Amino acid sequence: MEGLGRFRVRDGERVIVDSDPHATPDEVDGLLLGSVTVALAWQRGLLVLHGAAVAIDGQAVLFVGPPGCGKSSLAVALVGLGHPLVTDDVCAVAFDPEGVPTVQPGTPFVRVWSDVLPTLGLDPGALRRIDTRATDPAGRQKYFVDAAQPATQPLPLARIYQVLPGKDATLSITPVNPSLRLSTLVSATYHREIGDEIGGRDAYFERITALARTTPLFRLRRPADATRLREVARTVEVDVRGAKP
Amino acid sequence: MISRRSIVQARADVRREDLGGESALMDAAGSVYGIDGVGAAVWAEIAAPAVVGRVIRNIADAYGVEQRTAEPGVLAFLAQMGRFGLLDIILD
């Protein structure tokens, strides 16, 4: 990794770090929590997606979408409503013997951009800032937000939301058919090249299609107005609970 | 240019998985495609070399529509699959 050092991930068990003396601790942490964790999860035979997940009534609800779409801040908002965090950024999915996808608990914190903190009622002064050399064009900073009661057990994956950045005042949730779910899930795959290298393309194809076949996926169009985040979180909560038999 | 007279066949190295009536395809390079129910029905028609006119007739029959209604959609789908390199055009 250019300017950061060398990282070796072995057998899904061990990570050897030889960091560059010029790399900051947060930069090394960022890599350990990102690409290194992703490689580790693929080595463990998991399907690795890029997204944030929370537990609503004991079932995992996953948010995927392009960077900056608001998946992590939505997860924080749902945590604020009392739902345990399952993971942020790296979402590792296993399939139980019946083929039911389960989400593995990940980091007990979420990394969010500074501009959404006021909406979430969070004081940046009370949070740890992530030191990055790479500056955001908009001059924003990222902060760690700890989850009060993170999930500690794998949870069945109930549904997935593809979070779409807001264009106007619209807040809408629409179901997506399996062939379109598939392209969303392929886009959300985290370092697919590592998974293909480790488990092979065919194994990836079987698992990603199994997920598209079995797991409901919805397009969540969030309003452009970021201050409506809590309302979005409440809408998701109602949507998930309304789907219960 | 694929027409009713063309003969096409799904490439043997394209993998298919069922998506509950729809289908997933993966080519030899690892690119993944999702196709809807009608696309999946067309794909099933071209597992062996097939005259496109016959594919259109079978799809029209299966969906209970006129052939001229089914034709543009089937031709557009096959042209797109051809551009993606997912089928062999045996006879243009």
Nearest C-alpha in A relative to B30:
A201
CATH number for A47-242 (one of 3.30.70, 1.10.287, 1.10.1740, 3.40.50): it is 3.40.50
Query: pLDDT value at position A133?
Result: 56
Query: pLDDT value at position A138?
Result: 67
Provide the pLDDT confidence category of residue B58 given band limits of 50, 70 and 90: very high
CB-CB under 8 Å, A180 with B32: no
Q: In what order do the strands lie in the sheet with A128-129?
A: A109-113, A142-146, A128-129
Q: Alpha carbon B11 to chain centroid distance?
A: 11
8 Å CB contact between A120 and A76:
yes
Cβ neighbors of A97 (< 8 A, separation 6 or more) are: none
8 Å CB contact between A32 and A17:
yes
Out of A178, A201, A212, whose CB is closest to B26? A201
The alpha helices in chain A, defined as continuous H runs, are: 25-31, 37-43, 71-80, 178-187, 192-199, 201-214, 229-242
Query: Which residue(s) pair with A81 in the sheet?
Result: none
- Render the burial of A121-138: b for 16+ CB within 10 Å, e for the rest: ebeeeebeebeeeeeeee
Query: pLDDT value at position A9?
Result: 84
Domain boundaries, chain A: 1-44, 47-242
Query: pLDDT value at position A136?
Result: 62
8 Å CB contact between A180 and A164:
no
Residues from chain A that touch B36, judged by Cβ atoms under 8 A, are 177, 179
Residues from chain A that touch B15, judged by Cβ atoms under 8 A, are 202, 205
pLDDT by residue for chain A (245 residues), tens only, comes to 777 888 888 887 888 888 888 888 877 887 888 888 898 999 999 999 999 999 999 999 999 999 888 899 999 999 999 999 999 999 999 998 898 999 999 988 898 888 888 888 888 888 988 876 555 666 678 888 888 889 999 999 999 999 998 889 999 999 999 999 999 999 999 999 999 999 999 999 999 999 999 999 999 999 998 889 999 999 999 999 997 55
Query: pLDDT value at position A171?
Result: 95
- CA A42 → CA A45, A194, B16, distances in Å? 5, 7, 23
Residues from chain A that touch B24, judged by Cβ atoms under 8 A, are 179, 182, 205, 208-209, 212
Domains of chain B plus CATH, in order, are 7-86 (1.10.10)
Rounded to two decimals, the ipTM of the complex is 0.91
Query: pLDDT value at position A244?
Result: 59
CB-CB under 8 Å, A179 with B23: yes
